[in-house]
Amino acid sequence: MAALLRVSHLQTYYSSFGGARVVKAVDDVSFTLGEGETIGLVGESGCGKTTTCLSIVGLLPSAARVVGGSIAFAGEEITTKRPREMRRIRGRQIAMILQDPMASLNPLFSIYTQVAEPAYYHQAIRGRPLRQRVQELLRSVRIPSPAVRMREYPHQMSGGMRQRVVGAIAMAGGPKLIIADEPTTNLDVTIQAQYLEVLKDIQQESGVALIFVTHNLGIVAKMCDKMAVMYAGKIVEQGSVRDLFRSPRHPYTRALLGSMPKLGSKDPLYAIPGHPPNLAQLPSGCAFHPRCAHTMPQCVSQEPEDGHVDTNWTAKCWLTDKQAQEEYVSAIA
């Protein structure tokens, strides 16, 4: 089955001060996503996950540019597309859901106007069919009495409802891919749970693929089939969610999993020493080495390559390289 989205060796850099300072926000990132699949892009602030998504939809700020690699969507290369073409793809084929629903909704327009907009422009529906479509969409995100509520304005709704409206807008164009960037960070626990269920339902009904960008491993455990862990602009481990949760290979993945408090357990949390790196001043070799518990001499001098762990499971770490392991063992003997 051909992949819906294939990102290969993507490099997106920010340049400032006339090129004097270059920040490698995304440095050689590759992953694929098939139709109907859900992938979680996990990482902390500054790891590059949001920039990756902005690169995919073509909404990078003016200081950033895709300087290398390719992004193929439905077989077409989209990094080389002109803005006009990208506008046709955005909303119609690829939609985005952002973190703050208040910022995503226009306070001056009714819910109806905003949900109808993508359907109006991309699918040229008008009049009664359009109203029916909007009600259908609002129903699919479980908003009760859609015919009444679509006449309302954003400020009349609660946070959870607004986020669901954002979901309805995302679905309105009939996209094949939705990118959700931390969509539940501002929501209460029970509202978040309801919202995630809504997303799952939408996915099952329409077969849309989802990219979930988050720092919360719990969301990934609940919603995603695959996951890619990012650190300092690179994917350090990717594979199926089950595999990575069961036996993570990269020390960062292991550390993240170990630092999550688990309900009902008082085991001490593993606290990763140090703090996330400054992308403008990355450490040499493997960017994680200053904070890693298993640093070997090779980690300081050489950047690791994607080590093959299993089919569709890679980890960028010298530990997966058997030869490196053996060398290390013989060196300390």
Partner 1 sequence: MSAPLLELQGVQKYFPVSTGTLLRRKLGWVKAVDGVDFAVWPGETLGLIGESGCGKTTTSKLILLQETPTGGAIRFGGEDISKLQSQELMRYRREVQVVFQDPYSSLSPRMRVGDIVAEPLEIHTNLSREALHERVTEVLELVGLQPEVARLFPHEFSGGQRQRIAIARALATHTRLIVLDEPVSALDVSIRAQIMNQLEHLQQTLGVSYLFIGHDLATVAHISHRIAVMYLGQIVELADSLELCTKPLHPYTQALFTAALPSHPDQRHEKLTISGEVPSALDPPSGCRFHPRCPHAMPLCAHEVPVRKEVAPQHAVACHLY
Partner 2 sequence: MVSTIEETRASPVPIGARDFASVPRRWTSLARQLPILPLAILVPFILLALFANWIAPYDPTEPIPGAKIFEPPFWMQGGSSRALLGTDFQARDLFSRLLFGARVSLIVGVMGTIVAGSIGTALGILSGYLGGWVDQVIMRVTDAWLALPALVFAIFLATMIGPSMWNIVVILGLVYWTRYARVIRGEVLSLREREFVKLAEIAGGSRARVIFRHILPNVLNSTMVLASLTIGVVIIAEASLSFLGVGVPPPEPAWGSMLADGRSMLMVGDWWLTVFPGLGILLVVLATQLLGDWLRVRLDPQLRNM
Give the interface with partner 2 as residue ranges (CB under 8 A): 16-17, 20, 268, 270-271, 273-275, 278, 280-281
Question: Residues 299, 301, 303, 305: is their CA dihedral positive or negative?
Answer: negative
Nearest distance from residue 289's CB to partner 1, in Å? 15
Among the residues of the chain, which ranges form H helices?
49-57, 83-89, 101-104, 111-122, 127-140, 146-149, 159-172, 189-206, 217-223, 241-246, 251-259, 297-301, 322-332
Separation between Cα atoms, residue 133 and residue 122, nearest integer Å: 13
Output 131 or 222, the one with its CB closest to partner 1.
222
CA angle 194, 196, 197 (to 5 degrees): 65
Say whether residue 201 binds partner 1 (CB under 8 A).
no
Separation between Cα atoms, residue 13 and residue 154, nearest integer Å: 36
Which amino acid makes up residue 103? A
Nearest distance from residue 278's CB to partner 2, in Å? 7
Say whether residue 148 binds partner 1 (CB under 8 A).
no
Query: Segment near partner 1 (CB under 8 A), from 68-76, 86-94, 117-125, 250-258?
Result: 250-258
Q: Which of 223, 230, 59 lies closest to 71, judged by CA?
A: 59
Nearest distance from residue 300's CB to partner 2, in Å? 17
* The entry of partner 1, partner 2, none that residue 86 binds, CB within 5 to 8 Å by partner kind: none
Separation between Cα atoms, residue 22 and residue 112, nearest integer Å: 43
Using the rule CB under 8 A, which residue among 59, 63, 147, 193 binds partner 1?
A: 193
Output 88 or 294, the one with its CB closest to partner 2.
294
For the segment 40-69, give every residue that binds partner 1 (CB under 8 A): 44-45
| Greatest alpha-carbon span in the chain | 78
Site string (274-303) toward partner 1, x via CB under 8 A: -xx---------------------------
Say if CB 19 and CB 206 are below 8 A apart. no
**Binding-site ranges for partner 1 (CB under 8 A):** 44-45, 158, 160-161, 188-194, 197, 215-219, 221-222, 241-242, 245, 255-256, 258-266, 268-273, 275-276
